[in-house]
């Protein structure tokens, strides 16, 4: 009943045009993926493989600022160099998801165009290679308004339900639960980050023993609709 999170080690550097499933296959083969495992992949390598990068032109800070304004659906807050923006996917995050860490020199990494599609593609290819249907989560590192520090969350999902809906479930006393919607895909992304780290060069992890609901979920389900949003 324990949950085991295996880091995928010795994954090579990723370049534009690479196939992520192929890149991850040797590391997965070492672990031996099993029915019920969930694969978490940091979006960085997905974006690189898909060419979701931009070459920096001119002054870096200025370029970044203009790029955020170009790609963001809306700017949510601005203070000094900090810009909180809504991406075209609906994610609210710093810099509209643009990041320079682990980018090739002279470039910035954007979010994948459609992280659910990216997850689906990896899942399909790995099913072909291993004969096992592994749900896939594409993760990114987001901040939170009232809490310091960042945590990894799910921006793309394939093969599992990102929210575990416990509606109708009873607590120990037979009472309906107050809290019913658990963002399990975000919790899986956070759990995976604990073995990936930011500097360790480990871009993916395999989670074994997760018994939450499988199904046809999308990362977009984790985005709160604007009309429910009290903080924009």
- Which residue stretch of 17-25, 119-127, 130-138, 217-225 sits at the interface with a copy of itself (rule: CB under 8 A)? 217-225
141 lies in the site for a copy of itself, by CB under 8 A: yes
229 lies in the site for a copy of itself, by CB under 8 A: yes
Neighbours of 40 (CB within 10 A): 28
Q: How many residues bind a copy of itself (CB under 8 A)?
A: 74
Interface map 63-92 toward a copy of itself (x if CB under 8 A): --------------x-x--x-x------xx
CB-facing half-sphere around the CA of 4: CA atoms within 13 A: 10
Rg (CA), the chain: 18
- Which residue stretch of 18-26, 55-63, 111-119, 196-204 sits at the interface with a copy of itself (rule: CB under 8 A)? 196-204
167 lies in the site for a copy of itself, by CB under 8 A: no
Out of 24, 53, 157, 184, name the contact with a copy of itself by CB under 8 A. 184
Out of 22, 75, 101, 215, name the contact with a copy of itself by CB under 8 A. 101
- Which residue stretch of 16-24, 53-61, 122-130, 216-224 sits at the interface with a copy of itself (rule: CB under 8 A)? 216-224
Tokens coding 37: 């495992």
Neighbours of 104 (CB within 10 A): 14
Residues 192, 206: Cα–Cα separation, whole Å? 8
Residues 103, 65: Cα–Cα separation, whole Å? 17
Residues 136, 66: Cα–Cα separation, whole Å? 32
**CA nearest to 122, candidates 80, 89, 156:** 156
- Which residue stretch of 47-55, 100-108, 115-123, 130-138 sits at the interface with a copy of itself (rule: CB under 8 A)? 100-108
Out of 177, 213, 215, 216, name the contact with a copy of itself by CB under 8 A. 177
Residues 94, 84: Cα–Cα separation, whole Å? 4
C-alpha dist (Å) from residue 138 to 111, 142, 158, 231: 10, 13, 9, 26
Out of 56, 127, 129, 221, name the contact with a copy of itself by CB under 8 A. 221
């Amino acid at each position: 009943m324990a949950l085991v999170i295996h880091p995928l080690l010795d994954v090579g550097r990723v370049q534009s045009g690479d196939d992520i499933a192929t890149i991850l296959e040797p590391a997965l083969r070492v672990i031996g993926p099993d029915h019920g495992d969930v694969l978490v992949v940091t979006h960085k390598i997905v974006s690189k493989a898909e060419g979701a990068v931009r070459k920096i032109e001119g002054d870096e800070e200025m370029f970044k600022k203009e790029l955020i304004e170009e790609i963001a659906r809306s700017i949510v807050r601005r203070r000094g160099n900090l810009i909180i923006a809504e991406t075209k996917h609906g994610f609210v995050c710093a810099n509209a998801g643009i990041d320079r860490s682990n980018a090739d020199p002279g470039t910035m990494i954007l979010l994948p165009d459609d992280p659910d599609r990216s997850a689906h593609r990896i899942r399909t290819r790995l099913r072909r290679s291993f004969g096992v249907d592994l749900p896939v989560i594409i993760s990114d590192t987001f901040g939170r308004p009232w809490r310091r520090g960042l945590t990894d969350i799910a921006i793309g999902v394939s093969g599992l339900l990102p929210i575990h809906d416990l509606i109708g479930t009873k607590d120990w006393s037979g009472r309906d639960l107050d809290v019913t919607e658990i963002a399990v895909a975000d919790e899986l992304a956070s759990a995976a980050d604990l073995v990936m780290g930011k500097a360790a060069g480990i871009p993916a992890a395999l989670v074994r023993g997760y018994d939450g609901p499988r199904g046809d979920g999308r990362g977009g389900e984790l985005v709160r609709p604007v009309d429910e949003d009290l903080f924009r």
